Amino acid sequence: MTEGWVAVRVVTWNLWWRFGPWRERQKAIRSVLRDLRPDLVGLQEVWAADGENLAEWLADELGLHWTWAASPAPERWRRRIGDPSVDIGTAVLSRWPAEETEVLRLPVPPELDDGRLALYARTGPVSFVTAHLTSVPTAGAVRSQQAAALAEFARRDGPVIVTGDFNAEPNAPELRLLRRDFRDAWTRADPTAPAATWAWDPELPYNPGGPRQGARIDHVLLGGPGSVRQVHRAGDHPVDGVWPSDHAAVVADLDLQAPWAASPRP
């Protein structure tokens, strides 16, 4: 094998589970991802029920491979929609099959435990991790513990991409902890581009309690050999009148060192 570089498009997106008009939203999510043509996707709040799995459906529709990890403690999520049969989890979609996978249950006190995970997949030229940290506003200390565990879990040889909904803005202590080992891809975004990935638009109908201050809480981080070419938001407008999620996606175009000469993107 020859040493080479490969251009990789990465997306991270919280899909808002089975809240709201989820059947219509899943079609809008597919439309956005189809237009983006990603190589790697980290997904949070992915549902599975009645023999269907949203990650599997998206992978089939997009021609990608998929890996899924179900929450070991979905009860609180189920109570919020009144359906005891729906599972929630974290998923990876990839242009390449996963050669190895591993799941980390993020540390959390029992009273806040709703089964948040980090999912690792060794796929193609990269070690890829996606995670979903606790969303309790006052639980910054818990998120810092989760971020420390995530950083340890994600340390691998070669290029490493860490994605997810971290429920923390860039200058929060938990993000500063992760940036000790990983670079924030958003530093290569257009500084004039809108950055908030949650509550970013007053017209978004999914913000409980009305409009809130927008926040950049969804992140793509890079470790090891590689560079960031550009970053932008996606999924931040309605598709045929349907908003895909209560989060916008983050799209990062990366150049990664790979142990093989990569073919160009199709």
Full DSSP string of 91-139: EEEESS-EEEEEEEEPP--GGG-S--EEEEEEETTEEEEEEE----TT-
pTM to 2 decimals? 0.95
> Rounded mean pLDDT of 51-62?
98
Spatial distance between the Cα atoms of 36 and 10, rounded to a whole number of angstroms = 9
Structure tokens at 230: 């550009």
Spatial distance between the Cα atoms of 193 and 144, rounded to a whole number of angstroms = 28
The conformation of residue 204, written as its DSSP 8-state character, comes to -
| Max intra-chain CA distance, the chain | 56
Please say if the pLDDT value at position 1 is more than 90.
no
Helices assigned H by DSSP within 138-259? 140-154, 173-178
| 4-258 placed in CATH 3.60.10.10 | yes
pLDDT, one tens digit per residue, over 139-190 is 999 999 999 999 999 999 999 999 999 999 999 999 999 999 999 999 999 9
Amino acid 265: pLDDT:
43
- Give the confidence band of 263 by pLDDT, cuts at 50, 70, 90: very low
The conformation of residue 111, written as its DSSP 8-state character, comes to G
Residue 88 near residue 46, CB atoms below 8 Å: yes
The partner residues of 128 in beta bridges, in order of sequence, read 121, 161
Residue 132 near residue 163, CB atoms below 8 Å: no
Residue 6 near residue 259, CB atoms below 8 Å: no
Spatial distance between the Cα atoms of 84 and 249, rounded to a whole number of angstroms = 28
Spatial distance between the Cα atoms of 249 and 94, rounded to a whole number of angstroms = 16
> Rounded mean pLDDT of 64-90?
97
The partner residues of 226 in beta bridges, in order of sequence, read 256
Element (H, E) at 5: strand 4-14
> Rounded mean pLDDT of 129-134?
98
98 by Cβ neighbours in 10 Å (0-12 / 13-18 / 19+) ranks as middle
